[in-house]
């Protein structure tokens, strides 16, 4: 990555996110080629970064989409992802979302409870349209990641246990409206160990074999997302080992492998750039205050996440400080107790690995407009989302003033 953050700051102001599209391509190709030996579909988990240009870029590489709301399904369709590459997941779907997903004829609805299967059954009956579904199995394996992004334990709200899954497949078999084409698991995010994924995949593959024994053929084995990235000095799962492990677990089964990476594709591609307002000292504590804030980038506050960061063009007078935003919350920090050089007004700070779950989690708290998003591709930059203005922020309210 050879992006001139300063030039972009002059051109687009700060704070901003910039995404290295060439890195996204590289990540996609790495994963896709790891599954070369089999029929596979890489469906991008849109919630990681749902900018239309990001989704379109992945669509052009051949990616499908894993969506968790009908809004995300519509984003995927809007940029040209074919319905047969779109999966709709999520633990609670609104009736109308189920209806629209059926009408849009997407690949499959990923069902997460018996109650939801009932809803899908009756809505598909109402529409006179067969529903292709997959069941999300919760294998009860500890993925060894942050509790907020762990999803594969029974204590998490996601998926169903094996026995429930079996009942659900039998229900599909006996229903005229339900076509069980897939099986799904997703045990967590930012996974850096292969073993928990391996155990989970084995458990679910066994279920596929049991279903086959009762003449239920599952066409899609969806291993979910979760592959970790480097934030600090993590040792990552090797994608070839990952793919090999899955292929081995599915030995002898004629099944298409689906995976749903989000963070892996876009996380390391993003950088958040913010400007120093000033420094202050409270007692013994040094604070560097910047124009970006927790509403722009909430991962440090939400997950206690640490991101590598750097004050550009400064190296002198390094000392301990907290890097914080202007918002009235003590949770409004980017880093605590980090060594940073002495800064001046208008210095730039780059916060790395912010391509996933950063802009998409941003809000307008404190009446702060969402920041600009920029794509960087083949040595060129272009705006892919305009910075929000005050007028944008009040547009849905001002007509109702009495």
Ligand X SMILES: *Cc1c(COP(=O)(O)O)cnc(C)c1O
Q: Given candidates 67, 68, 131, 323, which one binds ligand X under the rule CB under 6 A?
A: 68
Query: Is 179 exposed, middle or buried (CB count within 10 Å of its CB: 0-12, 13-18, 19+)?
Result: middle
Shortest spacing between CB 239 and ligand X, in angstroms: 12
Work out how close the CB of 73 gets to ligand X at its nearest, in angstroms, rounded to a whole number. 13
Q: How far is the CB of 375 from ligand X (least distance, A)?
A: 20
List the structure tokens of 110.
């990923």
Nearer to ligand X among residue 5 and residue 221 (C-beta): 221
Distance CA 187, CA 176 (A): 31
Tell me the torsion sign for CA atoms 107, 112, 114, 118: negative
Of the candidate spans 193-201, 207-215, 238-246, 258-266, the one that interacts with ligand X by CB under 6 A turns out to be 258-266
Minimum CB separation of residue 342 from ligand X in Å reads: 37
Residue with tokens 């749903």: 260
Based on the shown chain and the rule CB under 6 A, indicate whether residue 75 belongs to the binding site for ligand X.
no
Reported in sequence order, the residue ranges of 116-211 that DSSP labels E, i.e. its strands, are 131-136, 178-184
Taking CB under 6 A as the rule, does residue 270 contact ligand X? Answer: no
In the list 242, 264, 272, 376, the residue contacting ligand X (rule: CB under 6 A) is: 264
Residue 145 in the binding site for ligand X (CB under 6 A)? no
The burial of 336, by beta-carbon neighbours within 10 Å (0-12 exposed, 13-18 middle, 19 or more buried), is given as middle
- Interface residue with ligand X among 262, 270, 300, 355 (CB under 6 A) is 262
> Judged by CB under 6 A, does residue 45 bind ligand X?
yes
Q: Provide the token pair at 128.
A: 């006179």
Q: For ligand X, which is the closer residue by CB, 156 or 210?
A: 156
Query: Residue count at the site for ligand X (CB under 6 A)?
Result: 18
Q: Which is nearer to ligand X, 241 or 344 (CB)?
A: 241
Backbone angles phi, psi at 348, to 5 degrees: -105, 140
Q: Confirm or reject binding of residue 261 to ligand X (CB under 6 A).
A: yes
Report how far residue 193's alpha carbon sits from residue 110's, in angstroms, rounded to the nearest whole number: 25
List all residues 6 or more positions away from 285 whose beta carbon is below 8 Å from its beta carbon. Answer: 321, 322
Q: Specify whether the CB–CB gap between 334 and 309 falls below 8 A.
A: yes
- Angle between helix axes 95-103 and 114-127 (nearest 10 degrees) is 50
Tell whether residue 243 is a contact of ligand X (CB under 6 A): no
* CA torsion angle 53 55 60 66 (round to 10): -170
Could you say whether residue 32 binds ligand X (CB under 6 A)? no
| Region from 75-83, 225-233, 330-338, 372-380 binding ligand X, contact rule CB under 6 A | 225-233
Residue ranges in 155-194 that form contacts with ligand X under rule CB under 6 A: 186, 189
277 and 290 Cβ atoms separated by less than 8 Å: yes
Which residue in 223, 225, 228 sits closest to 238, CA to CA?
A: 228
Catalytic residues: 328
Q: Do the Cβ atoms of 138 and 152 come closer than 8 Å?
A: yes
- With CB under 6 A as the contact rule, the residue among 32, 47, 99, 132 that binds ligand X is 47
Nearest-approach distance from CB 166 to ligand X, in angstroms: 21
CB 267, min distance to ligand X, A: 8
Q: Which stretch binds ligand X (CB under 6 A): 10-18, 92-100, 256-264, 314-322?
A: 256-264
Residues 6 or more apart whose Cβ sits within 8 Å of residue 163: none
- By CB under 6 A, the residues from 342 to 361 that bind ligand X are 356
- Residue in 225, 270, 292, 355 binding ligand X, rule: CB under 6 A: 225
The nearer residue to ligand X, 21 or 264, going by C-beta atoms, is 264
At residue 262, what are phi and psi to the nearest 5 degrees? -115, -75
Residue numbers at the binding site for ligand X (CB under 6 A): 45, 47-48, 66, 68, 89, 186, 189, 224-227, 260-264, 356
């Amino acid at each position: 990555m050879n992006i001139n953050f300063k030039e972009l700051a002059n051109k687009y102001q700060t704070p901003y996110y910039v995404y290295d599209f060439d890195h996204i391509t590289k990540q996609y190709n790495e994963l896709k080629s790891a599954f070369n030996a089999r029929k596979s579909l890489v469906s991008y988990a849109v919630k990681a970064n749902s900018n239309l240009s990001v989704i379109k870029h992945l669509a052009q590489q051949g990616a499908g989409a894993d969506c968790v709301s009908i809004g995300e399904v519509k984003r995927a369709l809007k940029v040209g992802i074919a319905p047969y590459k779109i999966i709709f997941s999520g633990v609670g779907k609104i009736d109308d979302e189920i209806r629209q997903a059926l009408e849009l004829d997407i690949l499959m609805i990923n069902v997460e409870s018996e109650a939801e299967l009932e809803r899908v059954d009756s809505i598909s009956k109402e529409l006179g349209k067969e529903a292709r579904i997959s069941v999300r199995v919760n294998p009860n394996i500890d993925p060894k990641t942050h509790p907020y992004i762990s999803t594969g334990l029974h204590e998490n709200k996601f998926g169903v246990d094996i026995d429930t899954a079996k009942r659900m497949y039998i229900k599909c078999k006996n229903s005229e409206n339900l076509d069980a084409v897939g099986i799904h698991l997703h045990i967590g995010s930012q996974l850096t160990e292969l073993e928990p994924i391996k155990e989970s995949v084995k458990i679910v593959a066994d279920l596929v074999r049991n279903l086959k024994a009762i003449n239920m053929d599952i066409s899609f084995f969806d291993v979910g997302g979760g592959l970790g990235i480097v934030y600090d000095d993590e040792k990552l799962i090797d994608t070839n080992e990952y793919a090999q492990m899955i292929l081995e677990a599915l030995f002898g089964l004629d099944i298409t492998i689906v995976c749903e990476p989000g963070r892996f594709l876009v996380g390391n591609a993003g950088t958040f750039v913010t400007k120093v307002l000033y420094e202050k000292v409270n007692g013994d504590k040094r604070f560097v205050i910047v124009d970006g804030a927790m509403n722009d980038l909430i991962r440090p506050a939400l997950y206690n996440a640490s991101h590598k960061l750097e004050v550009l063009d400064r190296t002198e007078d390094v000392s301990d400080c907290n890097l914080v935003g202007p918002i009235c919350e003590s949770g409004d920090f980017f880093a605590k107790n980090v060594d940073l050089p002495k800064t001046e007004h208008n210095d730039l700070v780059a916060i790395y690995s912010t391509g996933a779950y950063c802009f998409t989690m941003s809000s307008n708290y404190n009446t702060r407009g969402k920041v600009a998003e920029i794509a960087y591709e083949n040595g060129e930059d272009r705006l892919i989302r305009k910075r929000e203005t005050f007028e944008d922020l009040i547009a849905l309210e001002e007509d109702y003033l009495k």
